[in-house]
Structure 1
Amino acid sequence: MGKLDSKQFLLYLAWLVSVIATLGSLYFSEIRGFIPCELCWYQRILMYPLSLMLGIATFQNDLSIRIYVLPMAIIGWSISLFHYLEQKVPGLAAIKPCANGVPCSAEYINWLGFITIPFLAFVAFTLIIIFMLFIKNPKKV
């Protein structure tokens, strides 16, 4: 087994972040019993496939995966940011209330006064984006 280069390591880290985020969201819903709101579902729809895609790319050492991962992560990042602002900025919650079920402004957790579930998703998407931006495709000959 050869030495792991920095690009492979960043790919591995992105996969690890996506797996932790996926397992974390499943923990909150399936073990803690928190019902996901509409925006949470959109974030899950974008994060869960990243676990699979990045896992396959990690073990295949396929650095070209970034062209597929970046758009999904950026969209997920945007939704997470909007969701977090909806929770923390009082005037934003009225912009798009969830139609049924749990309101998107609800906070199941509020660790240290600012860490909520959308914040955790925001951090995960941010890390994945950063790792993908530092992976550059090798020059084609």
Structure 2
Amino acid sequence: MSSTPTDDKPCCGAFPPAVLRPAELTAFSRGGGARTVPLVTRAVGAEVFLTGQTLFDGGAGIPLHTHNCPESVTILEGDAVVEIDGTEHRLTRFDTTYVAAGTPHRFRNASATEPMRILWIYASVDATRTLVDTGVTARVDAEHTKPSETRD
């Protein structure tokens, strides 16, 4: 196999390394007892993917939605129920989902009292979320404008 000059180029532009500490970052309200902490975003130089954490109070959940790109979610704390394309699954710490673009899904905290935390990764820096009930589409990073009342 011959090498071409593009084989050695990185997939995206250069950016300074970053260490991100969720406890020191702003949490943004998702409504209904869910708060998001953006991590790898355009603000730190992301050009390919987005990551962050969402924290769910006891009993909290997010509405059924789809994305324009694949998404992976790992449970970091607590227990969750995920609905993927009409089927519910119980998840616990470190269980991970991988959902294709356009697949309806949602997460909710399986506990009425204990917190739940997820790590999300979108396969595009331009990820969008479309709510199934309303059809409203917005960029995922547009949600990072309403600071939460509490720090996590």
Q: Normalised by the size of structure 2, how large is the TM-score?
A: 0.23
Which protein is richer in strand relative to its size? Answer: 2
- The structure with more helix, counted as a fraction of residues: 1
Structure scoring higher RCO (CA < 8 A, sep ≥ 6) equals: 1
